[in-house]
Amino acid sequence: MLKKGFSTILIVVIVLVVIAGGTLAWQYWPEAEEKNCTKEGEIECNVMGCTPCCGELEDRDVLTPVNISGEVVCVEEMTQQRCVNCGDGVCGIGEDWCICSEDCEKPDIVELPEVTVDYSEADNFEIADCRTGYLDKIGETDDILLYHINKENQYKVFWCNLQTNQEMELELLGHSESVNVKLSLSPNGDYITKTTWASAVALPKIELMSFDNTNELIVLAEGKKDSFMEIIWSDDSSRIAYWTADRNARPPSFSVYYLADITGAEPRLVKIYNDMTAQGFVNLKQLISSENKLYLERTRIMNGAPAVWEQDIIEL
């Protein structure tokens, strides 16, 4: 009986120790886990290394707003990432307009330090790169970059000044994945075309936006239902050429059109290729205004053979 009673007491003690240990572990585990992540408003990396942001916090580049030529510009003085809670509608710990523009107001220009920059020798700090994270570059000139990003199957299009890092969303150019869209920047960087084709929700068309007025899209040309369209800019950005092809036709014919002036001319049919094969294709290569010529190439693939491209020149 004594041995049995002692054994019972020993089992009870062991059970109590296990329960107590589990309780202590439960109490202190979150704290230990919290110590292994970076809290809100803190820098993610230091001389000891980097630790991930706690919970649902995200890391954002640390940028500083300054006054450059009367514009609020975000500059990067040192490559750092801060853990912040952007997107909750509150300008919280460690957040400002440069780090979290969706929550924080743009600062007053008069309150910012004025910085004079020689962009050819600006090695004291780096202008924050508005190209960071772009999904696809649409086009680029010496000063302007166009790119878009995909968020939840919605494409957002941005204009970026590479000299001042000013960035602006071009809302009229945004589109969903359900629509086939191609955006083409003019060589001089003053215009962009939005070509929509072969879509179940929109008729094919070519629209024009001038960066002098980003609140308007002008329809330059329209195509028939279920047709493909492809355009090319002229070298001086004053004209365009394009082709259309019925995607359901076998074989398809390619109709080539020309707009002599993007500010008011009507499309003019200049060529029809009706001797193509089912896998045939036309590439628009160059539109030279001074020559009034359109250079292109086409291929008529036969029985799965390799593509052989034929050069063609259309006098306009």
pLDDT digits (tens, 9 = 90+) for 188-224: 989 999 998 866 667 899 999 999 999 999 999 998 8
> What's the Rg (C-alpha) of the chain?
30
179-296-144-97 Cα dihedral, nearest 10 degrees: 20
Average of pLDDT values for 172-181?
82
CA–CA separation, 108 vs 111, rounded Å?
6
pTM: 0.59
Distances (CA, A) of 300 to 181, 249, 264, 286: 26, 15, 35, 20
**H-helix segments, the chain:** 2-35
Across 169-173, 245-249, 259-263, 273-277, least confident range: 245-249
The pLDDT confidence band at residue 27, using thresholds 50, 70 and 90, is very low
Which domains, ranges and CATH numbers included, belong to the chain?
45-111 (no CATH), 178-315 (2.130.10.120)
pLDDT at 18 over 50: no
The three-class DSSP label of residue 272 is: strand
